[in-house]
A and B are shown apart, each in its own frame.
Chain A
Amino acid sequence: MKGILTICRKELADHFSSTRFILLFYLILMVSLVTAFMVGSGLRDELKDVAKPTFVFLMLFTSPGKLFSLIQFIAIFGPLMGIILGFDAINRERSARTLSKLVSQPIYRDAIINGKFLAGLVTIIVLLLAIILMISGLGLLLIGVVPGPEEIMRLFIYFVISVFYIAFWLGISILFSVAFRSMATSALAAIACWIFFSFFVAMGASVLADVISPIDPTRAANNPELIIDHEQTRKIISLFSPMTLYSEATTIILDPLRKTTQSLLLMGPMERLSISRFQNPLPLSESIYIVFPHLISLFAITLVCFAISYASFLRQEVRST
C-alpha cells in the first residue's frame, strides 16, 4: 500500500507539472468559462418572460446554448483527457530505462500500475470538480438561481459517471502503454479507439441494424414491429460505444424532464418543444433506475480494461533493453 501511495504521489507531481497538463488545464478553463457564459446568458434571455421551470440550475450543464453544453463537451473530449493522462504511463518508464530499476525496489509489481491509475484518477477528479464548480459559480452569478438539494444530488451522480467515463479511457490508454513499446504508437492506438467507439459505432449501428433486422418496405406498412425491431437492434449496437452509454446516462440524470434516453448530442433547441418531454420531472430514484444499467456497464468496462492491463503488465518480462 505504501508503494502505491509513493508512486501515486510521484505521478501526481508529474501530472501537475507537465506541459500537457498545463495545456489541458487552460483548455478546460476556457471551455468552462465559455460554456458557462454562453449557457448562462442564453438561459437568462430564454427565461425572461416565462414562469421559472424546475431544475433551472441543471440546465447550465445540459442546455446547448449557442454551441454545445458541458455534457456534450465531456462526452466528446473527456476521452481525450483520459488518453492524455495515461498513454505513456508504462512505456515512458520503459524507454527511460527506469522500469527495471523500479521493479527491483521492494514494492509489489502491481503497485506501479495501481499507483499510476490512481494518480490519473485523482487528476481527473480534480479537473472535473474544478470545471463543475466553475460553471456552477458562474451560473449563479449570471442567472442567480440557487441549486436545490436534488439538483446537487443529480450533479453529484453526474460527476461520478463522468469520472468513470474518463477513467475508462485512462484504463484503455494505460493498457496500450503496457502493450506497445513506443509512446507514439500507444497514443495513436488510443486515439483510433476513441474515434472508432465514439463516432463510427454510432454510424455503424444503423448500417448493421439494416443488415440484421432489415425493414422490408412492402411489409413494413402493416407491420410496425419490423420497425421496432430495427430500432432496437440499432440501439443495442450503439450501446457498444462508451460515448453513447455516457451521454444517455448523463442526460437522464441531469434532465429529469426527458422521455427518451437518446443523447443530447444530435439535438438542438428544437428538442425542447418536441413531445419527448414529460410534463413533470421524474423523481431522482426513477432517473437512477433508468440509468442503472448504463452505470453498471460503464463501471464494468472500466474495470475490465484495467484488469487486462494489470494482468498483462504483471506477466510482461522486464528486460533492461
Chain B
Amino acid sequence: MNGELVIETQDLTKVYGEQVAVDHLNLKIYQGEVFGFLGPNGAGKTTTLLMLLGLSEPTSGKARVCGFDPTREPLKIKRIVGYLPENVGFYDDLNAQQNLLYISRLNGIPDEVAVEKIKELLKIVDLEVDPRKKLGEYSRGMRQRLGIAEVLLKDPQVVFLDEPTLGLDPDGSRQMLELIRSLSQEKKITVFFSSHLLDQVQKISTRVGIMIKGQMVAIGKIEDLAKEKFGIGQEKYTLEEVYMKYFQEGVS
C-alpha cells in the first residue's frame, strides 16, 4: 500500500439517542484506492460518509480527510471531496446543463469555464443530453450518470459514492463500474463507495471494509479476508462467501 493517507479516522463514533450508529471506527484509506464499503442496511455506512464530509457531527473520535478536520473545516473538505448521495436528486424543472451549472456556481467556478467543463464531463459519463429535456424526464440510469458528472465538476481528490449502481440495469451498472475504475486509474481519484452488489464490488475494489451494526468487522484485500476465513486451501472464493461468513458471525 503506497501513496498518501487520504482518509483517517480514530475511534469515530456517532450515537443517535440510545442507538450507536457508528462504533469506534478506525479506518485508513490511501490515495488512488477504490475502497468498497459493505454492510447490511442500517449498518452505519451513510452515517460514516456524512461524518467524513462534515455534514454530521461525530459524538466522539476524530476524522481527517485530506488533512482537514471535517468538524472544524468542512468547507475545505467540501471543496475537494465529491459526494454522490444515495438516490441523488436534481431540480426537475431544469435541464441537465442548468443543473450542473448551478452546482458549479456554488463551487465558485466561473460560468465560461463551467460551460466547457460540463460539455466535457457529459462526454466522459457518456450522456447525450437534449437541452430541451428537463430532468423530470430522465431515467434512473441517466440521473445516476449525471450525478457522477456533477461530482466530478469540482475536480475532486476524493469521491464518496453512496450506492452508485442502485437501480441501474446490468449494462448500466457495468458502465458505471468501468467509469469508477477509470477515475481511480486515470485521474488518481480516491474512491470510497458503498454497495450491496458484492460481485461488482469484487470487480473494482482494491480493498473492502465490512461494517455490521456500526462496527468495522473486517477490512483488507478480498483475498486476505478470504484466507482468514477459509484458510489458504480454498482456491476459489467470492466476496459473497466471505461477506456472508462475516455477516452471520456479526449478527449472531
Q: Interface on A for B, CB 8 Å cutoff?
A: 2-3, 6-7, 9-10, 14, 17, 96-108, 317-321
Contacts and interface: CB of A to CB of B under 8 A. Distances in A.
Nearest to A108: B75
B196 to A, nearest CB: 15
Given A318-B56, A319-B46, A320-B162, A107 B106 contact: yes
B86 A101 contact: no
Interface of B: 46, 50, 53, 55-56, 75-76, 78-79, 81, 83, 85-93, 102-103, 105-108, 150, 154, 162
B63 to A, nearest CB: 15
Given A6-B106, A101-B85, A101-B89, A106 B162 contact: no
Contacts of A100: 55, 83, 85, 89
B85 A320 contact: yes
Contact of A317 (B56, B75, B92): B56
Contact of A3 (B53, B86, B106): B106
15 contacts: A6-B106, A7-B106, A99-B89, A100-B83, A100-B85, A101-B103, A102-B106, A104-B83, A104-B85, A106-B79, A106-B108, A319-B50, A320-B86, A320-B87, A321-B86
Contacts of B154: 106
B19 to A, nearest CB: 13
Nearest to A2: B108
Contact of A98 (B81, B83, B90): B90
Closest 8 CB pairs of A and B: A97-B89, A320-B85, A106-B78, A104-B83, A106-B79, A105-B106, A98-B89, A100-B85
Given A105-B78, A108-B75, A318-B55, A10 B89 contact: no
Contacts of A320: 46, 85-87, 162
Contacts of B55: 100, 103-104, 318
B78 A96 contact: no
B78 A104 contact: yes
Contacts of A97: 85, 87-89
Contacts of A14: 93
Contacts of B106: 3, 6-7, 102, 105-107
Contact of A10 (B83, B102, B162): B102
A7 B105 CA distance: 9
Given A9-B105, A319-B46, 14 more contacts: A14-B93, A96-B89, A96-B90, A100-B83, A100-B89, A101-B85, A101-B150, A104-B83, A105-B78, A105-B107, A106-B107, A107-B78, A107-B106, A108-B75
Contacts of A10: 102
A170 to B, nearest CB: 21
Nearest to A97: B89
Contacts of B107: 105-106
Nearest to B163: A320
A109 B78 CA distance: 12
A13 to B, nearest CB: 9
Contacts of A101: 83, 85, 88-89, 103, 150
A2 B104 CA distance: 12
A118 B50 CA distance: 28
A6 B105 contact: yes
A101 B46 CA distance: 14
Contacts of B76: 106
Contacts of B79: 106
A104 B108 contact: no
A40 B194 CA distance: 68
Nearest to A93: B89
A10 B94 CA distance: 11
B92 A96 contact: yes
A103 B154 CA distance: 14
Nearest to B77: A106
B91 A98 contact: yes
Contacts of A105: 78, 103, 106-107
Contacts of B88: 97, 101
A150 to B, nearest CB: 45
A318 B50 contact: yes
A109 to B, nearest CB: 8
Given A3-B106, A101-B103, A319-B46, A106 B89 contact: no
Contacts of B81: 104
Contacts of B50: 318-319
Contacts of A2: 108
B40 to A, nearest CB: 15
B103 A96 contact: no
Contacts of A17: 93
Contacts of B75: 106-108
B38 to A, nearest CB: 18
A96 B85 CA distance: 12
A9 B91 CA distance: 15
B86 A96 contact: no
Contacts of B90: 96, 98
